[in-house]
């Protein structure tokens, strides 16, 4: 009884804070002709009564800064070129095609919106889009940023997002450059140098994506100061090839983050005014100052990676071995399972690279049910990557993990080659804490 009363006191203290607009929708029917809006007819999560996403069109109900992620998966030998639009302006592009195979590509951007602004995904030009239909590979997610920032009054949301609309040949150890800023970030990302300089210490989620030119390699590494974090790799014969990754890190004021071409390699990135593939975006999830404030919402963040090769049999979770962050010690490194410590709405991102001449089939599982994933992708010649993302409403005690859905998934990793990552964090809590 005393515990209960104490619990209720705690609850009244931690509730009632910023509740974000947040959604993930998916598309299972497959073929769209040029300029059509992808209707995203299946809802994975529509959080918050104010979230307005209908027929694939998100209409902004509150001024603010929003993060959008889109993933597409081509049908066998199918093709897609999709643009993420804010009103009539393309923010970012996704492309996928492989003769006799399927590919996944994704992109994430952060953008400032005003009430009434629309955001949607459209098929490019006259070409028909042909997407894989089986199981929620094709997703569109949006999250309003600022759960802690809006609460702490004088803070503003710390976010940057930049894209490139030029081809780039990035020599080994050289940094990727960007040309367009999607949010006014007060100079935290320098377009001229490509460097993100941290002004406010705290936990940040970072996303980067790119696409190689036909037959060319893309091998990019995220560094913070001198420290290697994670990579993307892509190459396809006679095709453009895409890859993306995400990670959550603790960053201190004056840390510098940037995306570099792998030492000794040249990354040839495709980019034009119409094909905006290369992006680098990030936002602070919580500042150190807020984290140390007892009134702050519960903070749950984990981010893990794979720094070795792993063969994952069907029905088993991917057991990640490198920990970037595990604030509530809720991610079990022995099993690969995240046990939800606080009821609320969460965002998850996962990515991986499979070895050449293998199948790749992974799903995000929420307590025994599939959320989304990518299925039986195959590439015979080069390693290939895929990823996905989801907003989920979860109850304390539920589990979330990335599971193999094929006899063997051969995932690629090494100490300085982390392509496979899995990150999740609480956006807003709405129930009691189970694990302290
Ligand atoms: C998905 O959510 C939207 C907005 O809440 C709603 O209009 C639509 O009917 C839902 N679709 C399905 C298939 O449940
Ligand atoms: C978008 O619409 C605005 C206002 O109608 C117009 O000025 C602008 O040129 C358009 N941009 C594109 C890319 O079509
Ligand atoms: C890991 O897999 C890659 C791709 O198949 C291979 O090149 C590499 O040698 C493997 N590493 C180890 C330590 O077996």
Exposed, middle or buried by CB within 10 Å (0-12, 13-18, 19+), for 151? middle
- Report which secondary-structure segment, H or E, holds 146: none
Cα of 23 to ligand 3 centre, how many Å? Answer: 38
- Report which secondary-structure segment, H or E, holds 325: strand 322-326
Cα of 88 to ligand 2 centre, how many Å? Answer: 6
Q: What is the β-pairing status of strands 342-354 and 384-394?
A: antiparallel
Contact indicator for 219, 261 with CB cutoff of 8 Å: yes
Cα of 90 to ligand 3 centre, how many Å? Answer: 39
Q: pTM for the full model?
A: 0.94
* DSSP-assigned letter for residue 193: T
Q: What ligand 2 atom has the least distance to the C-alpha of 90?
A: 13
pLDDT score for 149: 53
What's the rounded Cα separation, in Å, for the pair 243 and 382? 13
Residues of the chain with pLDDT under 50: 1-16, 152-154, 435-436
* DSSP-assigned letter for residue 38: P
The correct CATH number of 302-436 out of 3.30.420.40, 3.40.50.720, 1.20.200.10, 2.60.120.40 is: 2.60.120.40
Residue the block writes with tokens 């050449």? 356
Q: Is there an atom of ligand 1 within 6 Å of 57 CB?
A: no
pLDDT score for 12: 35
Ligand lying nearest the CA atom of residue 274: 2
Domain residue spans of the chain: 302-436
Cα of 376 to ligand 3 centre, how many Å? Answer: 21
CA–CA distances in Å: residue 231 to residues 169, 366, 417: 17, 26, 6
Q: How much of the chain, in percent, has pLDDT values that exceed 90?
A: 78
Q: Is 5 helix (H, G, I), strand (E, B) or coil?
A: helix
pLDDT score for 71: 97
> CA torsion angle for 72, 348, 143, 340 (degrees, to 10)?
150
Residue the block writes with tokens 């599939």? 370
pLDDT score for 30: 80
pLDDT score for 314: 96
User: pLDDT tens digits, residue range 253-284?
Assistant: 999 999 999 999 999 999 999 999 999 999 99
Rg, the chain, Cα only:
20
Residue the block writes with tokens 């028909």? 128
HSE of 300, CA atoms in CB hemisphere, 13 A: 28
- Residue nearest atom 6 of ligand 2, based on CA coordinates: 88
CA–CA distances in Å: residue 5 to residues 8, 12, 19, 20, 397: 5, 11, 25, 28, 21
pLDDT score for 16: 45
Q: Which of 345, 322, 278 is nearest to 414 (CA)?
A: 322
What's the rounded Cα separation, in Å, for the pair 47 and 379? 36
pLDDT score for 294: 77
- Residue nearest atom 14 of ligand 2, based on CA coordinates: 88
What's the rounded Cα separation, in Å, for the pair 88 and 85? 6
Which residues contact residue 107 at a Cβ distance below 8 angstroms, ignoring those fewer than 6 apart?
A: 69, 70, 84, 92, 93, 94, 209, 244, 277, 279
């Amino acid at each position: 009884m005393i515990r209960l009363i104490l619990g209720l006191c705690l609850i009244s203290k931690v509730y009632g804070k910023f509740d974000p607009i947040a959604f993930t929708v998916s598309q299972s029917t497959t073929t769209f002709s040029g300029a059509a809006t992808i209707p995203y007819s299946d809802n994975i999560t529509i959080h918050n009564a104010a979230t307005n996403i209908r027929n694939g069109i998100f209409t902004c109900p509150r001024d603010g800064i929003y993060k959008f992620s889109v993933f597409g998966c081509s049908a066998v030998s199918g093709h897609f070129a999709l643009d993420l639009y804010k009103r009539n302006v393309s923010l970012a592009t996704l492309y996928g095609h492989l003769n006799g195979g399927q590919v996944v590509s994704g992109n994430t951007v952060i953008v400032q919106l005003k009430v009434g602004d629309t955001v949607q995904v459209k098929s490019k030009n006259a070409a028909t889009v042909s997407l894989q239909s089986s199981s929620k590979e094709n997703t569109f997610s949006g999250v309003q940023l600022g759960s802690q920032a809006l609460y702490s009054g004088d803070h503003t949301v710390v976010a940057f997002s930049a894209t490139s609309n030029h081809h780039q040949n990035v020599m080994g150890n050289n940094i990727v450059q960007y040309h367009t800023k999607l949010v006014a970030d007060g100079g935290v990302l320098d377009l001229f140098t490509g460097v993100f300089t941290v002004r406010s210490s705290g936990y940040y989620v970072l996303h980067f994506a790119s696409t190689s030119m036909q037959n060319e390699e893309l091998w990019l590494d995220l560094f913070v100061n001198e420290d290697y974090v994670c990579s993307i790799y892509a190459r396809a014969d006679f095709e453009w090839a895409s890859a993306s990754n995400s990670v959550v890190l603790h960053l201190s004021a004056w840390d510098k983050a940037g995306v570099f071409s792998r030492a000794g390699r040249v990354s040839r990135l495709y980019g034009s005014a119409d094909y905006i593939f290369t992006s680098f975006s990030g936002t602070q999830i919580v500042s150190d100052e807020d984290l140390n404030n007892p009134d702050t919402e519960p903070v749950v963040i984990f981010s893990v990676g794979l720094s070795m090769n792993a063969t994952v049999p069907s029905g088993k979770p991917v057991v990640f071995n490198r920990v970037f962050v595990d604030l509530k010690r809720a991610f079990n490194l022995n099993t690969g399972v995240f046990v939800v410590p606080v009821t609320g709405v969460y965002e998850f991102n996962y990515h991986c690279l499979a070895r050449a001449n293998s199948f790749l089939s992974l799903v995000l599982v929420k307590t025994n049910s599939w959320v989304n994933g990518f299925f039986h992708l195959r590439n015979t010649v080069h390693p290939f990557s895929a990823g996905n993302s989801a907003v989920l409403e979860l109850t304390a005690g539920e589990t979330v993990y990335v599971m193999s859905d094929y006899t063997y998934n051969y995932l690629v990793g090494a100490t300085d080659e982390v392509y496979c990552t899995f990150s999740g964090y609480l956006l807003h809590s709405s129930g009691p804490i189970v694990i302290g």
